[in-house]
Structure 1
Amino acid sequence: MSLSPRFIAIILAFLISLITTTFLAFVEGVSKGMLFVSAISSFISSFFLVLYTVDILVFREVNKMYRTIHKLKMKDFNLAPRKKLIRESNPLKTINDEIFVYVTKKQKEIDELKKLELFRREFLADVSHEFKTPIFAAQGFIHTLLDGAMDDENVRERFLVKAAKNLDSLDVLVKDLLVLSQMETGDIKMNIVPMDIRLLTTNIFSRLENIATDRNVTLRVKPDDLPEVWVKADADRLEQVMLNLIENAIKYGNEGGKVIVHFNEGKKYVEIAVRDNGPGIPYEHLNRIFERFYRVDKSRSKDIGGTGLGLAIVKHILNAHDTKIAVMSKPEKGTTFSFKLEKAYISLVTDNSAQDPVSQLNP
């Protein structure tokens, strides 16, 4: 039912006229003609009085309030007035709903701004700390050499090597920050092509062989009888993902432990899991390990090294592949990082001239 000003005025005028006429009917000496005139006059006067009150003092003001709220929502104060915007329904209910929606939206924006402000403060503190350590260390070694230690050849070489290592760490940190920033702003585009992720994993095992040997960690791929695993991905970025996950599993797992990369092929997707049997990650840290510079064990992380940006980069790379990374961990049982990639179907086509198999993507 439409609650327009005229409809409300008619209903109220009719009721007022009815009540007035009813009371007059009980008065002695009042004729039917007088009752008729009284009913008509009370109806007309009440109608115009109520119409003016409702339309001028209520509906028009509510319309103005609605238009103002609508302009705020649209962030445009030059919108033309929208006629008959409220007259189709109860304006008071409409304005209440609009205010509720608007306030709820603004409250969410305020909460998000508070989170961003907290994140900004934490990020600045973390960046300052991460930059300060290698800069102060390199600065200390160089100033010591300038103060006279340069004359001692053994001390000079040792201090220069240490200063160079700290500057190299700073260079890696800056590069990781740049990559992360480019990923977040979308400046880095993914070059999605078919690739053999099993071969990529084997190559990464070879690169990390020395680190694994130092910690007596066994590296394995499962299933053993799977010669190739073809997926659609950016080869360079996926190499960053796998290198980071496998290296973390080696460094943070137990000495003498195992790191297993497991491939589970489905109809459309391949699930990749990197699993270790290390001490695991406490439950309260699982939701934050993909944040920039977040470290579960800061003292141990400092000894092992790294920029603290690896998992954040991993998360953004996989997001750019339209997939998400999941983590499962149990204390003293180990940790598993897993994600899915779209499967690539490869067929072997023989080149008659060269007689060599060439891999092609099926249409």
Structure 2
Amino acid sequence: MLTTSRGISLVLAVAISALTVAFLLLMDDATPALLLVAGGISFSVSYILMQVTLEFLIFKEISNIYGVFEKIQKKDYSNIPDKSDKLSISPLRKINKSINLYAQSKNKEIEALQKNAEFRKEFIADISHELKTPIFAAQGYIHTLLDGAVDDKSVRLKFLKRAAKSLNALDKLVQDLLTLNQMESGVVKFNFESFDLKEVILEVIEELEQKASKRKMHIRFSYEKDKTFRTFADKDKIFRVCQNLISNAIKYNNDGGEVQVNLKTHKNNITVEVKDNGKGIPPDDLKRIFERFYRVDKSRSREGGGTGLGLAIVKHILEGHKSKISVSSTLGKGSIFSFELPLEKLETSLPTLR
């Protein structure tokens, strides 16, 4: 009984009431009625105050602490109550708050580990599949040649070209993986310089025009003739960003479609937009297109020779420039990828009067 708040309150209330009555007995004019009333009032008030104090300031908090400890012992960090924002005068609330914060941090660590484990499984499965495709293809061509097809000159040349193409794809995949890993670990250094972004885009378009013409596509480049588009960034990496976005716009567009590249200035920024009128990207896929190896249309991506790492690399390059890639898409109408870079303003010096 003494282990509960009611039992302790009852004992203390009886003791306080007895002390009150004993004190009043020392007075000559103390009547039995006065003693009874004083004892009853002191008992009632003491019991209520003790009960409230012990129950809400001590026993309740201790019960909460034990509850959290039980969850920690069972390694169950879910549904840990968060009472950090509640005000209380309980001396145990600070301890309870610290334990709750510890349990919540452990819960977040477990969730992060679970997500990392799931990501690791997906990554291993994806990289195994991506490596297997070009390796098996090259093996097939080479073993066919070793089995006797090497004597046929026309077959030999054709199979060697196909094997070389598969090995080139494998090399590109490995290089992209190394690049992405270096960027995520912060090993890759950015060499910032001043350059004309318009010239970089023109160079990319010139490089990809043949690829577009094979599918009867046209690349349109729109920019204001009277404006400058100089920026301060890593030229080679921004070239790769533009190359990847325009190449993807060609790859995922419809035959005979159009790729529109817009270059605009706004206050202190330059905006690059790459738009296609292809099939578009489903809303559920928009959230994941910047993940490693994630493809919206896996069959078409592999036929086009993509590694599935291009947009992930684009994202990390732009993050290194303190920018980000944005995407909007409508099914059946196409997609728009855009990013911003700082506009470098040319300093003009005013002539001095003599």
Give the TM-score category using the shorter length. Answer: 0.7 to 0.9
- The aligned runs of 1:234-273 (5 Å cut-off) are 234-273=234-273
Residue of structure 2 aligned with 1:23, choices 21, 24, 47: 21
Structure 2 SS opposite 1:346: coil
Question: Which residue type is aligned with residue 214 of structure 2?
Answer: D
Unaligned runs of 5+ in 2: 1-9, 31-53, 70-88, 350-354
2:299 aligned counterpart, secondary structure: helix
Instruction: Give the aligned partner of residue 169 of structure 1.
Output: 169
What is the correspondence of 1:189-338 to structure 2 with a 5 Å cutoff? Answer: 189-226=189-226, 228-338=228-338
Q: Which moves more between the two structures, 128-137 or 340-349?
A: 340-349
What displacement does 1:31 show? Answer: 3.0
1:43-98 alpha-carbon deviations (Å, 9 max, x no partner): xxxxxxxxxxx9xxx9xxx9xx9xxx9xxxxxxxxxxxxxxxxxxx7331111111
Residue ranges of structure 1 left out of the alignment (5+ in a row)? 1-11, 36-53, 70-88, 350-363
TM-score, normalised by the number of residues in structure 2: 0.76
* 1:225-276 Cα shifts (integer Å, max 9, x gaps): 2553112211011011000000100111122222111122122211211111
Structure 1 residues 305, 13: CA separation in 2 closer, same or farther (over 3 Å shift)?
same
TM-score under structure 1 length normalisation: 0.74
Aligned to 1:80: none
Identity of aligned residues (%): 47
User: Which residue of structure 2 aligns with residue 132 of structure 1?
Assistant: 132
Q: Aligned with 1:272: secondary structure?
A: strand
Aligned match of 1:76: none
How many Å apart are 1:13 and its aligned residue?
12
The SS at the match of 2:263 is: strand
* Distance across 1 between alignment mates of 2:264 and 2:252: 24
Structure 2 partner of 1:155: 155
Q: Is the 8 A contact 2:232 2:342 kept in 1?
A: yes
Q: Distance in 1 between matches of 2:274 and 2:137?
A: 35
User: Are the aligned partners of 1:277 and 1:334 in contact in 2 as well (CA < 8 Å)?
Assistant: yes
Q: SS where residue 91 of structure 1 aligns? A: coil
Q: What is the Cα-based RMSD across aligned positions, in Å?
A: 3.3
Aligned residue number for residue 110 of structure 1: 110
Is the CA contact 1:285–1:296 (under 8 Å) kept in the aligned structure 2? Answer: yes
Which amino acid in 2 is paired with 1:197?
L
1:158 and 1:191, CA in 2 relative to 1: closer, same or farther beyond 3 A?
same
Letter in 2 for 1:321: H
Separation in structure 1 between the aligned mates of residue 282 and residue 246 of structure 2, nearest angstrom: 19
Deviation at 1:23, TM superposition (A): 3.2
Distance, in Å, in 2 between the alignment partners of 1:278 and 1:348 is: 44
C-alpha displacement at 1:324, in angstroms?
Answer: 1.0
Aligned residue-pair number: 297
CA distance in 2: counterparts of 1:348 and 1:251, whole angstroms? 43
- Partner residue in 2 for 1:51: none
Q: Is the 8 A contact 2:224 2:264 kept in 1?
A: no
Aligned to 2:42: none
